[in-house]
Amino acid sequence: MTQSAVSPDRRQVVTPTRVIAGICLIAPFVAMLWVSSYARIEPTLIGIPFFYWYQMAWVLISTVLTMIAYKLVQREQRARMGGGSK
């Protein structure tokens, strides 16, 4: 038989940090798939209907949440490897 590709000390573990990172990555999908929450015109922002500026705001929010998730996972991996944090 062949050995598993993942050694026992290198298993992927569900930690609170990874759960938070997952929530950060799932939040934009939930926000965009729940169309009835933003399918309206009011309130407008600089004359732009809510339907459009809400979606554009989520582009920026998604960028920030993805960056946060990346940094959380990166910091956790460094800690598991025994390296210092930057």
Q: Write down the pTM of the prediction.
A: 0.74
Q: Which two tokens stand for residue 72?
A: 């959380």
Q: Which residue from 54, 57, 61, 55 is spatially nearest to 24, judged by alpha carbons?
A: 61
Single-letter code of the amino acid located at 62:
S
User: Which amino acid is residue 75, in one-letter code?
Assistant: R
* 71 — pLDDT class (breaks 50, 70, 90): very high
d(CA 49, CA 52): 6
For residue 21, the 8-state DSSP code is H
In tens, the pLDDT along 4-59 reads 555 556 667 778 999 999 999 999 999 999 988 888 899 989 999 999 999 999 99
Tell me the three state secondary structure of residue 45: strand
